[in-house]
Amino acid sequence: MFGWGRKARAMTCLLITKSFFASSSTNPTNHSSPLFTGRLRLHSKSSLLSGFCSSSRRVDERMMQTTYDSSALTYLSQKEAAEIDDQLMGPLGFSVDQLMELAGLSVATSIAEVYKLSKYNRVLSICGPGNNGGDGLVAARHLYHFGYKPCVCYPKRTAKPLYSGLVTQLESLSIPFLTVEELPFDLSKDFDILVDAMFGFSFHGTPRPPFDDLIHRLTCLQSNNLNNQRKPAVVSVDIPSGWHVEDGDNSGNGLKPDMLVSLTAPKLCAKNFHGSHHFLGGRFVPPAIAEKYKLNLPAYPGTSMCVRIGKPPQVDISAMRENYISPEFLEEHLEADPVNQFRKWFDDALAASLHEPNAMALSTADKDGRPSSRMVLLKGVDNEGFVWYTNYQSKKAHDLSENPRASLLFYWDGLNRQVRVDGSVSKVSEEESEQYFHSRPHGSQIGAIVSMQSVVVPGRDVLHQEYRELESKFSDGSVIPKPKHWGGYRLKPEVFEFWQGQTSRLHDRLQYTLEKVNGNEVWKIKRLAP
């Protein structure tokens, strides 16, 4: 937000957001969670929609766009940014602490979006004496509540009550404050993320001690060869410290952050930012300001406080890997009955608040052995098997009529776990299907009638027209009859495999197989090589 020496009324923080939505069909047999980001204009007459962030939400098709094109963005001059601040802090009624809180939260959520706790959790927030530093203090507080381990370096403290209050808040959380002298010269040894919140867009001139030294340390850190040691990620708030607000890094030897979190709109210097991650933060620009300054920015549906600008960095897919860290999973931990073991892990997934832990990949094959997979939702499990519901004229149903065997796969990423279940498949009773059908929401019942699953349709509008007609027909609250082509399947398990990720790819794989012993079927447990 603010730079050094700026009056409190000249605060920048028009905050824009990013949102990640998981689009889930109302038909539980057509479950999916696609990832989208938005390309949008910030105008009162525009459709202000974008993609989804960490929390999953249902979203209209209009949100399913490509990444926002950074070439179409509005970039603010120093004068324009100051004018917008004056209006926000004057006639529009925003206070310094309101905007600073939103700015700091935006920085924290941007960091959390890219730098995951499993790999980056030690954070140093280097804060200057102005409002940019205040943003860094607020970000440190939010990062603490997100689970990170922040420390703060705040060399030139401001005596104003707002800043004193922010310090008190951090001290109440036992967040360490480090002096410049207490910092190691090589910051890579103690920190994974370095938040540059020293100077904002209003700063001009040459940085004075100790900030000149701190900027030099960050610059040297990025240029030094650390013997293949991972360098800390440098995150700059609004303006990379030491840059000219419009011209950027004039010397060419200044700070080159990995992430820039622009506030309000990007400043002109951001055109020279070539790091991996550029985000806009916040979410409150009034339409009058958007129109007056012709701001062309992403919008902020949902609840997220950040939105990525431009394309994500190119990634070498072959180099992508996760070194799983999980508790050991031993034979003595297993239930004798695999269904009970499944229930135990399923309860763990529920307790971890994972999104739709009942989502499962259903794999079938036709009479020629050609496989196909799709996501469906588990709707029941007992000693007789695993139950889901679908259209009996769908592709999966056609496969099962020719080859009544299938495989289910549950994947619980947050716990480093997956469960595979193989077995024979049969239809559930008509009574059971009828009972479940009428337990579904009114709209889902109508959708099951409208959708002749897997059949070619001329357009989306046809489905919506049929839906509206049926909705009108049953608007009196009368019972909606279950279609004859709709019902459930039950997979009777013959093989279970419980997988838990471990370090160095030495994963735990424990398999249950159904075998006959003395004429009785019993579950045998084996450990498989990873």
For residue 42, CA distances in Å to 68, 78, 103, 174, 280 come to 12, 21, 19, 40, 13
Give the start-end residues of each E strand in 60-173: 122-127, 149-153
Would you give the distance in Å from CA 312 to the centre of its chain? 14
- For the residues of 231-251, what is the DSSP string, one character each? PPEEEEESS-TTSBTTTB-SS
For residue 364, CA distances in Å to 85, 337, 407 come to 59, 25, 7
Instruction: Extract the tokens encoding 76.
Output: 């603010």
- DSSP run (H or E) holding 495: strand 486-500
Catalytic residue (choose from 62, 505, 509, 527):
505
Around 14, how many Cα atoms within 13 Å sit in the side-chain half-sphere?
30
Instruction: Extract the tokens encoding 512.
Output: 């249950």
**Among candidates 399, 396, 407, which has minimal Cα distance to 361?**
407
* Number of C-beta neighbours around residue 108 at 10 A: 29
Active site residue 230: no
**Residue 129 DSSP symbol:** S
Give binding residues for (6S)-NADPHX as ranges: 131-135, 200-206, 238
Contacts for 45 with CB less than 8 Å, ≥ 6 apart: none
Give binding residues for K(+) as ranges: 132, 196, 241
* Number of C-beta neighbours around residue 39 at 10 A: 14
The amino acid present at 472, given as its one-letter code, is S
- DSSP run (H or E) holding 511: strand 508-517
Q: 2 near 90, Cβ under 8 Å?
A: no
CA 237/CA 219 separation, integer angstroms: 16
Q: 380 near 429, Cβ under 8 Å?
A: no
CA 264/CA 13 separation, integer angstroms: 5
Residue 139 backbone dihedrals phi, psi, to 5 degrees: -60, -40
CA 339/CA 502 separation, integer angstroms: 23
Angle at 133 between CA 131 and CA 135, to 5 degrees: 75
Q: Coil, strand or helix: which one is 436?
A: helix
Give binding residues as ranges: 131-135, 196, 200-206, 238, 241
Instruction: Extract the tokens encoding 155.
Output: 């060399």
Helix/strand/coil (H, E, C) string of 338-401? Answer: HHHHHHHHHHHHHHCCCCCCCEEEEEEECCCCCEEEEEEECCEEECCEEEEEEECCCHHHHHHH
CA 248/CA 22 separation, integer angstroms: 37
- DSSP run (H or E) holding 487: strand 486-500
Residue 167 backbone dihedrals phi, psi, to 5 degrees: -65, -45
Instruction: Extract the tokens encoding 161.
Output: 């009550």
Tell me the catalytic residues. Answer: 505
